[in-house]
Structure 1
């Protein structure tokens, strides 16, 4: 423990002086009592009915001791003590990986798949504590980190707002880019099967990827292989299936394109990493998904001023002293 104003501790020098003054007063009162007993003006010492009898003498010094203890603690509080306190808090990094392929413009979720995902993501961002760093990845034919992990919620919201649907779907690249942002370094994985088996990017158990996609992967790398890499790095992927399994028809450049939610692929990715899959049938259910993401709780130690703790303890001791005094003599002082 340390003190911001250690010179205030000089006030503790008054405590021994007060103890000495109290003992001197008690001796003077005892001598005076003996004198009055000799004159027959007070009952003889040792009678239970006497004010100073054995039945009440045990409480005689308790009230002053409590008051003196309260004064001591109060003086310590004036020195503004600080202590190292362990504070548990949720901590980690969450990457919001958005599928921005053309199929995310489908209207089987109102107003569109992408707009519903963006609305729910904004709700998620607003609910997270400041200790959670959030980043944004957009993936279509390729993937780009739209926002590096940050605790600046305005930047995250701006990155979400900029997302627009275009191109194909490279789910694997979206996960790879998310891992790169989490690791703080490029993560490379080839198109050939097994190309990422020996990749070692570190271990990040307090990080998670929220993958918002309809699951219709159209290009390499294989999302399942990338999920194996995320699992080895301790990063859980929470796959959010955006759209309906019934599917819908979308018009792209004058052509009719059929699109449907591929739940099987997203479930495999989530299961591989130890995350979870959620079918978001509409924007309301999608918003609820974010509350289930489980990040690590850590205990961070930091210096904290505990003046209020000492002041509260002094108040309790003072009240106890007053209560004992009332019980013993019928008055506070």
Structure 2
């Protein structure tokens, strides 16, 4: 998004130039006519009352024409307006543990409902994308102003696999930048530029699985932090937990708030606990997206037209009063 730093713009500068030339011509004609009339009356020995008033009337009329010319040029003042804008990636955990029912009806279903409410609360100025993640994250909807695409992607989410929070963040950053983002084989954190208007909202129970999972999360969070991307984490589940059936086995699963809090704190975001459906439904109101300030045009033509009409009316009134007294 580009920003203009001009204090004022004109939609038709040519009209302003023509209007000012006409105004100048009227002023010259009025001045010449007034001098000739005054000279002729003086030569005839006629005293003219109200001379100043008629000159003021003509001056107001000419000024009204000049202001009207300015209004015709379509002037607009550039006013800085703060608004919510940028890119938001909704990263939603679809691992096996999200099938747990400690948040009704299931963690995933509750997260989907909260994500839909979040999308519905955003203005068109926010581009929203969706990333589904388990061990290998997948971009299911690229960031777009058409929020119906994100809603459709949220509705398609299904349970599959195990959790990788680090991969979720990296794929979300890839969706933001439009190119693959990966940590080097030697652990080198890539420089992906600065994206201060981008935000990741991560819905998960925080259970990070696999070898080197903690290191992966730390590296991914560092990449986001360097890029200026805030990651807000939403904890879906309860710390008491429950069991979930996977491949015929019953596995204990509970909310890992520490991992989600660490991600949020590292990136400048916030952790939002949501241990029940009611708190999840209110997540959209608790996540603050950053405001951007852009210069937007404030049309001035209406006010100038009003001023021009006032000047023309005053000029006409003074001229009529002067004419009435002469007669």
Which residue is 1:293 aligned to? 288
Ranges in structure 1 where 5+ consecutive residues have no aligned partner: 39-43, 46-50
Q: CA RMSD in A?
A: 3.6
Per the TM alignment, residue 167 of structure 1 is displaced from its structure 2 partner at its CA by: 1.7
Contact 2:81–2:294 (CA<8 Å) still a contact in 1?
A: yes
TM-score of the superposed pair, with normalisation by structure 2: 0.78
2 CA distance for matches of 1:61 and 1:260?
Answer: 87
Contact 2:88–2:143 (CA<8 Å) still a contact in 1?
A: yes
Contact 1:71–1:314 (CA<8 Å) still a contact in 2?
A: no
2 CA distance for matches of 1:37 and 1:7?
Answer: 44
Answering whether residue 23 of structure 2 is matched by residue 15 of structure 1, we say yes
Distance 1:68 1:284, change over 3 A: farther
Distance 1:76 1:283, change over 3 A: same
Distance 1:15 1:225, change over 3 A: closer
Contact 2:61–2:316 (CA<8 Å) still a contact in 1?
A: no
Which residue is 2:142 aligned to? 148
Deviation string 1:287-331 (CA, Å, 9 cap, x unpaired) is 433343222514367xx6x8x523431322322553687699889
Distance 1:243 1:52, change over 3 A: same
Which residue is 1:136 aligned to? 130
More deviation in 268-277 or 108-117?
108-117
Answering whether residue 216 of structure 2 is matched by residue 221 of structure 1, we say no
1 CA distance for matches of 2:295 and 2:144?
Answer: 19
Contact 2:67–2:308 (CA<8 Å) still a contact in 1?
A: no
Aligned residues: 311
**1:196 aligned to which of 164, 187, 194:** 187
1 CA distance for matches of 2:15 and 2:220?
Answer: 61
Answering whether residue 204 of structure 2 is matched by residue 209 of structure 1, we say no
Query: Which protein has the larger Cα radius of gyration, Structure 1 or Structure 2?
Result: 1
Ranges in structure 2 where 5+ consecutive residues have no aligned partner: 1-8
TM-score of the superposed pair, with normalisation by structure 1: 0.77
2:300 aligned counterpart, secondary structure: helix
Which residue is 1:122 aligned to? 116
Contact 2:261–2:271 (CA<8 Å) still a contact in 1?
A: yes
2 CA distance for matches of 1:78 and 1:321?
Answer: 16
**2:306 aligned to which of 315, 319, 322:** 315
Distance 1:20 1:287, change over 3 A: same
2 CA distance for matches of 1:111 and 1:36?
Answer: 103
2:183 aligned counterpart, secondary structure: coil
Contact 2:131–2:137 (CA<8 Å) still a contact in 1?
A: yes
Which residue is 2:6 aligned to? none
Deviation string 1:179-216 (CA, Å, 9 cap, x unpaired) is 222232222237x8xx4344323222221111100111
1:237 aligned counterpart, secondary structure: strand
Deviation string 1:255-290 (CA, Å, 9 cap, x unpaired) is 333222111111111111111101123344334333
Distance 1:185 1:17, change over 3 A: closer
1 CA distance for matches of 2:228 and 2:15?
Answer: 50
Deviation string 1:34-74 (CA, Å, 9 cap, x unpaired) is 79996xxxxx88xxxxx739xxx5x6644543432232232
Answering whether residue 91 of structure 2 is matched by residue 97 of structure 1, we say yes
Per the TM alignment, residue 94 of structure 1 is displaced from its structure 2 partner at its CA by: 1.4
